[in-house]
Structure 1
């Protein structure tokens, strides 16, 4: 027996089978309050088996990071949803930005990066700030408002489409996104209502992603021009624009809502941001760490492998609990505390990692910085007038309502 074979045999003999985890992540109660489940999941083992869904799961920061970044063992090509899109009856057109592995992904990502370069994004700052000033001035004048519907959604829906070059109708965009985010998880009681709610908007959704629907000179237009030059395969530009339309607003307005919520719950943090507006960015990033809008994503094992001493069989889905990983006490000191001085950028899993970082993260950050700065500058204080509510969406952690009272300067 060769030394390599002996080493492999010894390694395999030392591996453990992941223990069963019997909590149901997509039961409504666990979605509304996931934190007891997250704690149990992190403490059970680095890798667990979800018997109901025949999938592995990771919830600690280090293992989640490894699954997210090691494409040689954990691929995106079978879908970043629970469903294996290669399998009969499960096929759907993959996202050409999110569900393609290197090296093919690298070429597509390069084109998108040029279309959304820092120079292009920086030119948008004045536009975002002007929209933010308008929204903030109106709401502060009212004194009380809903931080989700009146501020976060209204601002993002009014700013993001014009910046990117797509035309969004508020109710249509929200319904399509809710369909996509419930569709990508194991089907539960939210699935059928979400599918039905999106039905009236499917024709609009298809039309909004086509060449003749985008704004000339916009980011979306640049992608279609790249396709016409042969830099992207036919159909890829429209495919990426579908991601803008179907998911480009929900994660951002959700993150803004969570930031407002955390600042309202933590007056000291609000005052720190008030004293130094540059800390708005820290407040936003820390809110994402604590309340990650995207709670789950998936990879698929490319073959039999191992992770942290546990064996994983090939061609099997691995669920990444990013919301749990971002509160892992192995990574963060006092992870349940909202600390705007905490360094999280580059460490947490808020915008993905490695080749599959969020392509629109610079836009999201600029949107958040603009609206939060415009609001904080105008007010002395901010408080809740009632408990915030959760809007249950299978893949997301989203607020449904955030009733706020502000005192103007």
Structure 2
């Protein structure tokens, strides 16, 4: 990273590549450089604008008319190139189309629906913790952060048992594809065909269990709210929103609680903190690190002029640790007031799977805190590199019963 130079428009240029392996390994020094260089910066490597402070990230997320999603929430500009798959009706759409499809998902994932799922999710979390206590030592990613959501969310959605091993690789392809044409993106798309075929097939009405969330989405076709072509694409959007972010969120929470034993003891002493312990892990680790928008017109943002059709990269993770917004941002504190973090985004495009993620995170952390006295990291954690997501591939731990 070199010191910034200045553009004629007064926007400082920064020599940072946010899609480089070294950046992924330790993004925090670069996040600080980006935040402290200015409210808006220009990243020469990919010829795009970047915002890393909380105020500007929040402003971009909450002005969809100026910073649109329909031209792609990755580096690709759909106005200039063909998307690698049919665009998402939620993530890669703007009002009024987005408003209509989003309303359907809001109904099928409402707080009332979540209430109906809670007992089942909690029971499965208890069973998972029982099995892990029997083992004592295990990998907190494969045996917990992945195994738990995979054992409940596909059932709630109404997927058949066969082929679910495609789900996590599929979501990882989606999030890698938001990046530039680097090795991660190219390899992900090259090996995506079987995962895409599985997902496309599973999202069809005939393949979904009656009464599940997927079938409920298709039922809105009969009411005329969405078309028969749109329904499978809406089911598809839940397969990435409801899984990968949740897996990385639970992984982040366990990783935090293992590294900050005083916070673990605090949670054990007050189980009502379980949901907030999960939220604070989402703020602290930011499983979704970045998203793009494209300007629909020339706009001034915090004194910087950005032309029409420019890509703007929002560093959600940097905003979640901006000292202008958070007190002691680099500390994990389960009693912190976490509302306002941008770990799920903000505004009309806020993560549609967030209620599912929160419910899964809360029920799993409650079950752990009730039954487990300590979590100890017993081996080197390994990162899983992805153009958009930050998470672990492996986290060896040992737990002791309470």
Pick the TM interval, shorter chain.
over 0.9
With normalisation by structure 1, the TM-score equals: 0.93
Q: Is 107-116 or 303-312 further displaced after alignment?
A: 107-116
Partner of 1:155: 148
- Identify the residue that residue 6 of structure 1 maps to in structure 2: none
Aligned residues: 394
| 2:363 aligned residue | 370
Q: How many angstroms apart in 2 are the aligned matches of 1:340 and 1:63?
A: 26
The separation in 2 between residues aligned to 1:57 and 1:167, in whole angstroms, is 42
Does 1:126 pair with 2:122? no
**Maintained 8 Å contact 1:172/1:198:** no
**CA 1:164 to 1:377, structure 2 compared with 1: closer, same or farther past 3 Å?**
same
| Residue from 207, 217, 230 that aligns with 2:211 | 217
TM-score (norm 2): 0.94
Partner residue of 1:287?
281
Could you tell me how far 1:18 is from its partner in structure 2? 1.5
Q: Distance in 2 between matches of 1:246 and 1:118?
A: 20
* Deviation for aligned residue 1:388: 1.6
**Is residue 258 of structure 2 the alignment partner of residue 267 of structure 1?**
no
Q: Does 1:358 align with 2:351?
A: yes
| Structure 1 unpaired stretches of 5+ | 1-14
Question: 1: distance between equivalents of 2:268 and 2:232?
Answer: 42
Residue 36 of structure 2 is aligned to residue 43 of structure 1:
yes
CA RMSD in angstroms comes to 1.5
CA contact (8 A) 1:175 1:197 kept: no
Question: How far apart, in 2, do the equivalents of 1:386 and 1:205 lie?
Answer: 34
Q: Distance in 2 between matches of 1:289 and 1:167?
A: 33
Gaps of 5+ in 2: 1-7
Q: Give the match's secondary structure for 1:323.
A: helix
What is the DSSP-based 3-state SS (H/G/I as helix, E as strand, rest coil) of the residue aligned with 1:20? strand
1:175 aligned counterpart, secondary structure: helix
Q: Which has the larger radius of gyration?
A: 1
User: What is the CA deviation profile of residues 268-289 of structure 1, one whole-angstrom value per residue up to 9, with x for unaligned ones?
Assistant: 1000000001111111111111
Residue 242 of structure 2 corresponds to residue 248 of structure 1: yes
Q: Distance in 2 between matches of 1:196 and 1:83?
A: 17
CA deviation digits over 1:271-317, x for unaligned, max 9?
00000011111111111111111111111111111100011011111
Which of 235, 243, 260 pairs up with 2:229?
Answer: 235
Matched with 1:202 is 196
Give the C-alpha shift of residue 72 in structure 1.
Answer: 2.2
Per-residue CA deviations over 1:35-60 (Å, capped at 9, x if unaligned) read 11111111111111112212111000
1:83 match: 76
Gap change, CA 1:100 and 1:199, over 3 Å in 2: closer
Alignment of 1:42-121 (within 5 A): 42-90=35-83, 92-121=85-114
